[in-house]
Structure 1
Amino acid sequence: MHKFFISKENIHGDSCIIEGEDVKHIYKVLRLDSGDKVNINDGEGTEYLGEIEEVNKKEVKVKLIEKVELNNESNLKVHLYQGMPKSAKMDLIVQKCTELGISEITPIITERVVVKSELSEFKKVDRWNRIALEACKQSKRSLIPVINTPIEFEDLQEALKKYDLIVVPYENQKGEGIKYVVTEVKNKEIKDVAIIIGPEGGFEESEIQSFKDLGAYIVTLGPRILRTETAGFTALSLLMYELGDLGGI
């Protein structure tokens, strides 16, 4: 069944209105019409079973039949701080991390970020949020992750103080990996996690030291060097398997 995220303001009693790009997708691509069932999410995690009542080129009116007890979100909240990559690599990072259950993504501008002076990167945030929305529909998520505007390294250090666990994959780290981290925190309540990934050029030693000073775990992801667009969702997958819900019961 197809799923659509709408604003709570578009819900009126037992009916709702779908607007925007979804309308054209509904009648032109999916070819849905009156009587077809759909899933509706209010953008804050509440799900409904709905039935399309009317379709036109401006909006789709849906009757809300009942609330659906559905929560596809993990109890583990993970925030990815991603060193700004070149080209369209951030698109892939946003898409795959959304599928895997990320809660929030913030691009970071570190010493070796090539695009650090290009203000155009800040204009891509709307596109990244659209990619996250589409990935949520595909993966049947209950909440849409937030994709933030890029921040400077100094702001990152302050933001990291609120997390239960900070994990920094680093190509020069030997031995200690995610398995070691899980063993270290097995008796602690871990709800909020930060993963920090360096850009193509990697982190400076001084940046790694600043993470250590904050109590971060500097880890290896194995003997093979991963690209920046691969490292984030690899670390996320491992943590979701060990501490979240990816591995099932």
Structure 2
Amino acid sequence: MAATVFYLDDIPEPGAIAILDGPEGRHAATVRRIRVGEAITLSDGNGLLAESEVVAAQKDRLELTVRNRVLSDPPRPRVTVVQALPKSDRSELAVELMTEAGADAIVPWQAHRCVANWEGKAHKAVEKWRAAARSAARQSRRAYIPEVADLCHTRDLLDTVRDIVAAGGVVVALHESGAARFVELPFDKSTEIMLIVGPEGGLDDSELSAFADAGADVTLLGPTVLRTSTAAAVALGALGALTSRW
């Protein structure tokens, strides 16, 4: 795979010309200054990768000949991160880190103790997260862009937790009070994993009880207390080593 990945929704068959324009084309042509003859990898963000060569370059647009295409298998087990809203100055950093660490889906969550409040601005905030996930996926050369869901509240999240557990998945609520150790959970036997990361003030008692009642494992990740913006990336790294994802 070439060193640079850019996203294009519809990648044509080998031998055809692909047009990379819009924000992706502008970034490739203006920011990265990619020129004729250079090789880049195109992806549709859903697993399809295509090696291509630039045959024409303009200010905000590239034309490329597609050399070949290959469909990349998604990592297994699938991992969703439920991320309590971090403070504004660390919000997009959290998305970038968990994308680079391999999250398959990201769910922004308005937890009880969140300092940030997306009331009345959830759509704009979610779009920023989606843009951050796309940029981080490009930087880390991912074939799959993580799905970023709409803002979630605890009642709806509990229904999802029950569904995943009922289907044989593993749901982990990361918290320092957890009796279980992260490395002891049966991740290798699961086809789906959900990680729940609380806000800077931590999960409150009612949330911990509700998650446990719904079937989640309240679990200690490690010996140190991590910031909400970095906890998911650390947990995803551990999962990479504990499962077949790496």
- Asked whether the two chains share a fold, i.e. TM above 0.5, the reply is yes
Percent identity of equivalent pairs = 27
Q: Which amino acid aligns with 1:153?
A: T
**Corresponding residue number in structure 2 for 1:93:** 94
Contact 1:11/1:17 (8 A) holds in 2? no
Deviation at 1:211, TM superposition (A): 1.1
- Helix, strand or coil at the partner of 1:219: strand
Aligned equivalent of 1:60: 62
Residue 176 of structure 2 is matched in structure 1 by 171
What's the counterpart of residue 220 of structure 2? 220
Aligned match of 2:157: 156
- The answer as to whether partners of 1:109 and 1:150 remain within 8 angstroms in 2 is yes
TM-fit CA distance, 1:143: 0.5
Q: Matched residues in 2 for 1:58 and 1:232: separation?
A: 35
**Equivalent-residue separation in structure 1 for 2:120 and 2:225 (angstroms):** 30
The residue number in structure 2 matching 1:239 is 239
- What do the CA deviations read for 1:126-171 (whole angstroms, capped 9, x no partner)? 2211111121112111100011221111010112233200011112
2:124 match: 123
The answer on whether the counterparts of 1:105 and 1:146 sit within 8 Å (CA) in structure 2 is yes
Structure 2 residue identity aligned to 1:166:
V
Matches within 5 A, 1:1-249: 1-8=3-10, 11=12, 14-68=16-70, 70-71=72-73, 73-116=74-117, 118-163=119-164, 164-174=169-179, 176-182=180-186, 189-246=189-246
Q: CA deviation at 1:19?
A: 1.1
SS of the counterpart of 1:245? coil
Give the superposition deviation at 1:200. Answer: 1.4
SS of corresponding position for 1:34? coil
Give 1:63 shift.
1.0
Aligned counterparts of 2:53 and 2:198: Cα–Cα separation in 1? 46
Give the Cα–Cα distance (whole angstroms) in 1 for the partners of residues 49 and 118 of structure 2: 42
Structure 1 residue ranges (4+ consecutive) displaced by more than 6 angstroms after TM superposition: none
Query: Helix, strand or coil for the counterpart of 1:116?
Result: coil
Counterparts of 1:26 and 1:142 in 2: how far apart (Å)? 17
Greater shift, 162-171 or 232-241, is seen at: 232-241
Ranges in structure 2 where 5+ consecutive residues have no aligned partner: none
Q: Deviations over 1:73-100 (max 9, x none)?
A: 4212110011111123221111111111
Question: AA paired with 1:61?
Answer: E
Q: Say which SS state the counterpart of residue 142 (structure 1) adopts.
A: coil
Return the offset for 1:70: 4.7
TM-score (norm 1): 0.87
CA RMSD in angstroms comes to 2.0
TM superposition shift of 1:202: 1.3
Partners in 2 of 1:119 and 1:66 — Cα distance?
45
Question: What SS does the corresponding residue of 2:161 show, helix, strand or coil?
Answer: helix
- Indicate if the aligned counterparts of 2:182 and 2:222 stay in contact, CA closer than 8 A: no
Per-residue deviation, 1:40: 0.9
Counterpart secondary structure, 2:88:
coil
Distance 1:115 1:70 in 2: 37
**Number of residue pairs the alignment of both structures matches:** 239
Q: 1:147 and 1:162, CA in 2 relative to 1: closer, same or farther beyond 3 A?
A: same
